[in-house]
C-alpha cells in the first residue's frame, strides 16, 4: 500500500479495533462471579501443577503472572472476543464504560517540564474550585510534579482517588504571574461518549458517538432534544470508529427511531435460547430519517444500530462495510479483581442475519487486521469488490436486499478518501503547536466567536507559516494537497483548543466525503423507497 494512503485511517482503525476487543458488547450490566478451581479432575490437575511450580521449581516464579498467561492461552483457543482482563485494566475499562471516574476534572498534558491544564471539565471539581486552562500544577499534596520525568499513570494515581477526599494543589497561573493554592474535593467526573453534535444545515443534524457506555443514551437524548429544537428533520448518526459497548444502550437508542413492536435484535445462546428485543412506546424520532455513517472500525453495538435500522427500512447506511462482530460477551469476575469477558451468545439483525465474519479458533492476528486485505481487494474503493454469499441473502420488508456473513454492507457506498493525507509526523506536532501558540497568545483569541473563527481563522497564513518554521526540513516539503489538508487539520486542532471538540468536528467535516455524500442525498430527497 502507498505510504501516503496509510497515514490517517489505518492508524485510527487499529486503535479502534483494539479498543473494541477490550470493550466488547456486554449482554447486561450484571457481573457474575465464578470459581476457577473446583472439584473436577481437570481443575485439580491445573491447581496441582501450579502448586508444584510454586513450591518445587528451582527458580523463583511469579505464579500470578503464570496463571494470567494460562488463562489468556485458554481464551485464545475460543473466539477473538473472549478475553482476560487484569485487575488494573479492568478498573480503567470499567470507568470508561460506566461513563465516569472519580478525580478533579481536568484534561492535562506535560508541556516542557510542567503539568499543564489543557481543559477544565464543565461542572467538575476543578472548575468549581477556580482552576483555569493554562494553569501549571506544580505540586499535589506536597508531591512535586514539575522539573522531572513523570508518566501519566503516576499523575492519574496522584489526582484520582475516592469521592469526597481532597487534594491540595499549588498552581502557577501564567496570566497573573503568581502561585495559587487550591484544595479540591474529588468527585465523579463524566467521561463523554458523545464527541459532538450540531446542525449541518437547516434541517440536517449531526451526532458523533465514540462508544456505547452506561451514559450514552442520556447524552444522546440531550443532543436529540437540542437538535430537534433547532429544527432537525433528518439526523446523521456518525458511528465511524465506534467499537461498540453495551447492547442495552444501543437498543435504547434504536428504540427512539422505530415504531412500537418492531424487532430490534435477537440473541441465541448454545442452548438455542432466543431472546428478542422489540421497540416499545413511541420514540422521539420515529418520523425523522436517519443516515448512519459506518466504516471498517464500526463494530459490535454500532453494527446492531446499523443493522436494526437497515432491516426495518428506517435508516440509510452510508460508508463502507463494518467490522463484522456478531458475538455477545458477558463479564465474569475471577475473584481477585480480574475478569473474563466470555462470549455467551450470537446476535442477529431483525431479518435474521448474523454479521459475524469468519475467524479461527487460534491465532486471530488477521481477523483484527484485515484493513490491508480490504484495501488490496479493492473493497475500500469500489462497492462491487465487497464479497457476498448468495446463501446469506436476506430481504427487508420493503424488498431491499441485505447480506449476512461479515459486517453491515452500506446502502450507499463511499470510497476511502485517498486525497486526504499528509505525513503522520504532523498529527501530534500540530496539536502540540496549537496548545503552545494558544497558551502564549490567549489574548489574540479572547474576542473570537466560533462563527468568526470558522470564516476568518488564519486568512493570512501567519499561524501556518509559524508552524512550518518549527518543522524539520524532511517534513516541510509538502505537495499542494498535503499542504491544504494540513492547514485544515491545524485549523481543526486550533478550534478544539480555543472552543471545544464540537468545533473540531465542524472544521474537519468541511472536507469529509461521507458528510458531503449525505448532504447530496438530503438534497435529492432521501429516503427513497426501494
Q: Which residues of 330-360 are buried (b: 16+ CB within 10 A; e: fewer)?
A: bbeebeeebbbbbbbbbbbbbbebbbbbebe
The answer to whether 449 is a known catalytic residue is: no
Q: How confident is the model at residue 429 (pLDDT cuts 50, 70, 90)?
A: very high
Q: Tell which residue, 310, 314, 318, 307, has the closest CA to residue 348.
A: 307
From the list 296, 298, 406, 411, the residue with the least C-alpha distance to 353 is: 406
Domains of the chain: 3-98 (no CATH), 100-190 (2.30.42.10), 425-515 (no CATH)
CA dist 95 → 98, 190, 331, 335 (Å): 5, 9, 14, 19
Look up 325 and say whether it is catalytic: yes
Please say if the pLDDT value at position 482 is more than 90: yes
CA–CA separation, 53 and 153 (whole Å): 32
Q: What are the Cα distances from residue 18, in Å, to 197, 240, 243, 295?
A: 25, 14, 8, 15
Q: What angle do CA 298, 196, 301 make, to 5 degrees?
A: 25
3-state SS, residue 100: strand
Highest mean pLDDT among 9-13, 143-147, 172-176, 395-399: 395-399
Helix intervals (H) in 334-441: 365-368, 371-376, 425-440
For the segment 91-139, what is each residue's pLDDT rounded down to a tens digit?
A: 888 888 888 889 999 988 887 778 889 888 887 899 999 998 889 999 9
pLDDT tens for each residue of 166-202: 999 999 988 888 999 999 999 998 889 999 999 999 9
Max CA-CA distance within the chain? 76
First-to-last CA distance in the chain?
37
Could you tell me where the DSSP H helices lie in 57-188? 63-76, 87-98, 125-129, 152-159
**Strand, coil or helix: what is 385?**
helix
Opening angle at CA 149, ends 173 and 62, nearest 5? 135
Active-site entry in 79, 195, 238, 311: 311
pLDDT score for 34: 43
pLDDT in tens, 236-281: 999 999 999 999 999 999 999 999 999 999 999 999 999 999 999 8
Q: Which residues of 228-266 are buried (b: 16+ CB within 10 A; e: fewer)?
A: eeeebebbbbbbbbbbbbbbbbbbbbbbbbbeeebbbbb
> What is the Cα–Cα distance from 409 to 398, expressed in whole angstroms?
17
- Segment 331-385, tens digit of pLDDT: 999 888 889 999 999 999 999 999 999 988 766 677 888 888 898 899 999 999 9
Whether a cis peptide bond, with omega within 30° of 0, leads into 527 is yes
CA distance 392 to 140: 59
Q: pTM of this prediction? A: 0.87
What's residue 528's pLDDT?
61
CA 338, 344, 350, 355 torsion-angle sign: positive
From the candidates 82, 193, 213, 300, which is the catalytic residue?
300
The catalytic residue among 325, 487, 491, 506 is 325
Q: CB of 286 within 8 A of CB of 258? A: yes
**311 a catalytic residue:** yes
448: alpha, beta or left? (left if phi > 0; alpha if psi -120 to 50): beta
Whether residue 432 contacts residue 497, with contact meaning beta carbons closer than 8 Å, is answered with no
Grid coordinates in use for 409? 454492507
The C-alpha angle 337, 343, 345, rounded to 5 degrees, equals 135
Question: Could you give the C-alpha distances from 82 to 85, 268, 349, in angstroms and in order?
Answer: 10, 17, 21
- Round the CA-based radius of gyration of the chain to a whole number and report it: 25
pLDDT digits (tens, 9 = 90+) for 33-72: 444 445 688 778 878 888 888 888 888 888 778 888 888 8
Which residue shows C-alpha cell 527458580? 59
Helix axes 480-498, 425-440, angle to 10 degrees: 40
Half-sphere exposure of 352 (CA within 13 A, CB side): 8
CA distance 494 to 153: 27
Amino acid at each position: 500500500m502507498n505510504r501516503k494512503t496509510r497515514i490517517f485511517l489505518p492508524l485510527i482503525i487499529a486503535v479502534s479495533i483494539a479498543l473494541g476487543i477490550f470493550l466488547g458488547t456486554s449482554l447486561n450490566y450484571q457481573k457474575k462471579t465464578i470459581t476457577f478451581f473446583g472439584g473436577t479432575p481437570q481443575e485439580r490437575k491445573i491447581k496441582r501443577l501450579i502448586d508444584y511450580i510454586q513450591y518445587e521449581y528451582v527458580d523463583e516464579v511469579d505464579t500470578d503472572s503464570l496463571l494470567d498467561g494460562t488463562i489468556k492461552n485458554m481464551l485464545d483457543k475460543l473466539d477473538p472476543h473472549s478475553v482476560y482482563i487484569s485487575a488494573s485494566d479492568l478498573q480503567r475499562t470499567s470507568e470508561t464504560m460506566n461513563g465516569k471516574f472519580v478525580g478533579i476534572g481536568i484534561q492535562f498534558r506535560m508541556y516542557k517540564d510542567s503539568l499543564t491544564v489543557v481543559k477544565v471539565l464543565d461542572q467538575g471539581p476543578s472548575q468549581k474550585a477556580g482552576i483555569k486552562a493554562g494553569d501549571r500544577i506544580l505540586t499535589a499534596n506536597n508531591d512535586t510534579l514539575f522539573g522531572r520525568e513523570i508518566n501519566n499513570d503516576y499523575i492519574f494515581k496522584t489526582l484520582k482517588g475516592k469521592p469526597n477526599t481532597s487534594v491540595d494543589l499549588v498552581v502557577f497561573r501564567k496570566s497573573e504571574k503568581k502561585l495559587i493554592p487550591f484544595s479540591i474535593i474529588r468527585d465523579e467526573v463524566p467521561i463523554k461518549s458523545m464527541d459532538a453534535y450540531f446542525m449541518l444545515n437547516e434541517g440536517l443534524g449531526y451526532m458523533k458517538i465514540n462508544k456505547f457506555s452506561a451514559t450514552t443514551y442520556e447524552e444522546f437524548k440531550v443532543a436529540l432534544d437540542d437538535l430537534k429544537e433547532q429544527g432537525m428533520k433528518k439526523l446523521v448518526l456518525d458511528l465511524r470508529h465506534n467499537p461498540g459497548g453495551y447492547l442495552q444502550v444501543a437498543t435504547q437508542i434504536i428504540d427512539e427511531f422505530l415504531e412500537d413492536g418492531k424487532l430490534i435484535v435477537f440473541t441465541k445462546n448454545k442452548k438455542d435460547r432466543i431472546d428478542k428485543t422489540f421497540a416499545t412506546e413511541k420514540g422521539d424520532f420515529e418520523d425523522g430519517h436517519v443516515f448512519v455513517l459506518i466504516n471498517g472500525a464500526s463494530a459490535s453495538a454500532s453494527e446492531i444500530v446499523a443493522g436494526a435500522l437497515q432491516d426495518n427500512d428506517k435508516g440509510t447506511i452510508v460508508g463502507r462495510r463494518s467490522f463484522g462482530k456478531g458475538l455477545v460477551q458477558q463479564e465474569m469476575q475471577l475473584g481477585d479483581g480480574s475478569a473474563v469477558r466470555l462470549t455467551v451468545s450470537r446476535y442477529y439483525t431483525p431479518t435474521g442475519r448474523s454479521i459475524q465474519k469468519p475467524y479461527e479458533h487460534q491465532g486471530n492476528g488477521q481477523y483484527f487486521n484485515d484493513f490491508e486485505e480490504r484495501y488490496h481487494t479493492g473493497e475500500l474503493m469500489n462497492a462491487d469488490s465487497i464479497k457476498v454469499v448468495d446463501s446469506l441473502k436476506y430481504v427487508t420488508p420493503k424488498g431491499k436486499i441485505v447480506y449476512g456473513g461479515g459486517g453491515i454492507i452500506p446502502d450507499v457506498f463511499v470510497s476511502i478518501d485517498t486525497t486526504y493525507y499528509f505525513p503522520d509526523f504532523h498529527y501530534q506536532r500540530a496539536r502540540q503547536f496549537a496548545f503552545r501558540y494558544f497558551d502564549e497568545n490567549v489574548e489574540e483569541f479572547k474576542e473570537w466567536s466560533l462563527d468568526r473563527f470558522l470564516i476568518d481563522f488564519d486568512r493570512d497564513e501567519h499561524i501556518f507559516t509559524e508552524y512550518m518554521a518549527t518543522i524539520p526540513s524532511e517534513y516541510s516539503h509538502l505537495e499542494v494537497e498535503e499542504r491544504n489538508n494540513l492547514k485544515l487539520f491545524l485549523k481543526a486542532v486550533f478550534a478544539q483548543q480555543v472552543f471545544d471538540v464540537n468545533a473540531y468536528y465542524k472544521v474537519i467535516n468541511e472536507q469529509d466525503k461521507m458528510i458531503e455524500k449525505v448532504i447530496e442525498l438530503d438534497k435529492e430527497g432521501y429516503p427513497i423507497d426501494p
